[in-house]
Structure 1
Amino acid sequence: MNEILKQIDLGSGDTTFKRYLLEEFVEDYEDGKMTRRDALKKIAGLLGSVAIANSILAACAPAPTPAPTAAPKANTATTASATTAPTSASVNVSPSDPDIDAKAIEISATGATLFAYLARPKKDGAYPAILVCHENRGLVEHIKDVTRRFAKVGYVALAMDLVSREGGTEKLGDRATSLLGNINPDQFVADFKSGLAYLANQSFVAQGKFGMTGYCFGGGVTWRSATQIAELKAAVPFYGSNPPLADVPKIQAAILGIYGGTDTRINAGIPEIEAALKASNKIFEKIIYDGAGHAFHNDTGGSYNANAAKDAWAKTLAWFEKYVKA
């Protein structure tokens, strides 16, 4: 299937995320996580052709019975074990939690108004800030919850809506996914630069203390942003596609890459990015959770792995404590 997908004409310009989404849709269909109808709709929306979408799906292996919603527990990681993490306590933080302020905001950018979600500790003070990049569904409630989790532990967190110019996630619904694949990746970085500029003007933000994280599609955007936003002190991309390797020397952030052991599509890129970072003497560590797959951190999805997610969250906070708060 990979060879067939490589032959698909994705158009001109930088099609990195367009190809990423195409491969993800096909993988989800072949793994039984997406019906043929949904796969056809998403691929056709991404490529602008029902005929091409049909031809791609016709070449796919028959989709198996949809996978159960409970993912297998993680066993080990390269630098930590996820086997002892408790799974009973809720990880979610309510918008009305008394310790935080959380709300939708708008940020002015060149030629556009950007939608975003801001969460911060309610107690007065200046706090380090984390940029949060959403998955391929846009700025949905799960990502808003992640920003609130950061606020709960003492960070200002800002999640940008990367389809703001197209109307925003709330308006677009499922169409946001396909639209993301047809936006120039440099625009994603520019929007996070606008978000950073907004944070730099807020009295409740500790200046010079910025980090970034993102998940799936957002992991790739986090990698790309790390190559272009020098103000980032640390970045934690979750199972994200690699940035252009030629841009790796420009990274200033300390990088913690988090991966699922069964996520073979993304993990195939680890040796290249690891070698490039090492050659440029960058700070980099990786964690691979055995038994966990792509999107294991998302507690609203079928690939959620509570043990791996809890451990990865703890490792994320420790990384930001060391490189952003310090």
Structure 2
Amino acid sequence: MSLHTEWIQFEQDGVRHRLYAARLARAKGPLPTVIVIQELWGTDAHILDLTERFAKAGYLAVAPDLFAENGERRDVLSEERIEEIKSFLDTLAPPSWHDPAAREAALEQQPAAIRERVRETFPELFASLTKLPELLETVKATVSFLSAYEWSKGQKVASVGYCMGGAMSTMLAAALPQLAGAVNYYGRMPLSKEEVAAIQCPVIGFFGEKDPKITSLVPEFAEAMEAAGKTFIYKVYEEAHHGFFNDSRGAYHVQASRDAWERTLNFFNKVLS
């Protein structure tokens, strides 16, 4: 199955942005579009692979690079730096990621050059979790770009996000009434009553039983959506952790991922038809 893939730079309101786009090479005319919103790790190999998977399902799929500033990454958030952070964090138990003492003890076992880069990149990377409204502006600019892009013009657009991208997928539903649907994979949903009221499209979510900090928030959001007359369907997978869909990480859960993938494709087939 042949795909056409490319990195595209575009400008909205005087700001340059960057995204990865994929579509079937034999596709004809504009296509319904899936926006793939990154995890904390950025538009890494896993997110690019997911973008291509959605393209193989018959959609134009695009993944905006939320860490690009005016179309380029700063060195501190380069793909190489983030991969180095991931490799270092893989040596720690997840609860130790945000334990400065445990993290520093582990860093002392690393070569000096790695220690320096990790200490510089770690706070910059995780600070992204506090900047979701700002990062959302890049996703909204992507939607504006798609409205005029030759391969998506006039077609419906839906979103799917993972981890912080899951939260942003739900936020996008509240920000853009024209969105056809939103999928949230284990992302927070800290939306106000006003934001819930603004959601015009169906939302679906997938969560892990062993991710209580996120999953414990789901029932309250479900109640708020129901009270507002909105559509929200979700599933919590037994024995699944945060990040269960990422097949490049240790939390990958094959049964949960297989089921969530099928449900996601069925959802997009419904809302993007």
Q: TM-score range by the shorter chain?
A: 0.7 to 0.9
Q: How far, CA to CA, are the matches of 1:228 and 1:172 in structure 2?
A: 33
Amino acid at match of 1:155: Y
Q: 1:256 touches 1:285 (CA, 8 Å); kept in 2?
A: yes
* C-alpha RMSD over aligned residues: 1.7
Return the alpha-carbon distance in structure 2 between the equivalents of residues 200 and 118 of structure 1: 15
Counterpart of 2:166 in structure 1 is 219
1:239-280 Cα offsets, whole Å, 9 max, x none, are 110132221000011111111111111011012101110011
How much has 1:294 moved relative to structure 2? 0.5
Change in Cα spacing, 1:171 to 1:179, as seen in structure 2 (3 Å) is: farther
2:241 match: secondary structure: coil
Distance in 2, Cα, partners of 1:299 & 1:307: 12
State the partner residue of 1:236.
183
Is the partner of 1:281 in helix, strand or coil? coil
Alignment-mate amino acid for residue 224 of structure 2: A
Between the two proteins, what is the percent identity of the paired residues?
A: 30
**Equivalent position amino acid for 2:31 in 1:** Y
Match 1:117 to one of 9, 15, 20: 20
The code of the aligned residue for 2:2 comes to D
- 1:112, distance to aligned residue in structure 2 (A): 2.4
Give the AA of the match of 1:318: N
Deviation readout 1:97-142 (Å, 9 max, x if unpaired) = x421111111212342112111112122321101111001111111
**Deviation at 1:232?**
0.9
**8 Å Cα contact 1:129-1:206 kept in structure 2:** no
Partner residue in 2 for 1:198: 145
Partner of 2:3: 100
In structure 2, C-alpha distance between the alignment counterparts of 1:323 and 1:181, rounded to whole Å: 29
Which of 196, 212, 219 is the aligned partner of 1:271? Answer: 219
Q: Please identify, of 298-307 and 159-168, the stretch whose mean Cα deviation from structure 2 is larger.
A: 159-168
Structure 2: runs of 5+ lacking an equivalent: 83-120
C-alpha separation between the residues in 1 aligned to 2:61 and 2:185?
17
**Contact between 2:12 and 2:145, CA under 8 Å: does it hold in 1?**
no
Runs of 4 or more consecutive aligned structure 1 residues displaced over 6 Å after TM superposition: none
Q: Is 2:268 the partner of 1:320? A: yes
Give the Cα separation in 2 of the matches to 1:314 and 1:171: 30
206 and 310 in structure 1: CA distance in 2 versus 1, 3 angstrom threshold: farther
Instruction: Name which structure has the greater RCO, CA cutoff 8 Å, separation 6+.
Output: 1
Question: Contact 2:34–2:61 at 8 Å: present in 1 too?
Answer: yes
How far has the Cα of 1:311 moved from its partner?
Answer: 1.2
State how many pairs are aligned.
227
- CA gap of 1:287–1:269, structure 2 versus 1, over 3 A, is same
Q: TM-score, normalised by structure 2?
A: 0.78
- 2:58 & 2:154 partners in 1: Cα distance? 15
Corresponding letter in the other structure for 1:198: F
Question: CA–CA distance in 2 between the matches of 1:121 and 1:288?
Answer: 32
CA 1:319–1:206: 2 relative to 1, 3 Å: farther
Structure 2 equivalent of residue 155 of structure 1: 59
Query: Do the aligned partners of 2:186 and 2:205 also contact (CA within 8 Å) in 1?
Result: yes
The SS at the match of 1:253 is coil
Give the corresponding residue for 1:173: 81
Residue 209 (structure 1) aligned with residue 156 (structure 2)? yes
Could you tell me which amino acid in structure 1 is paired with residue 53 of structure 2?
A: R
CA contact (8 A) 2:205 2:235 kept: yes
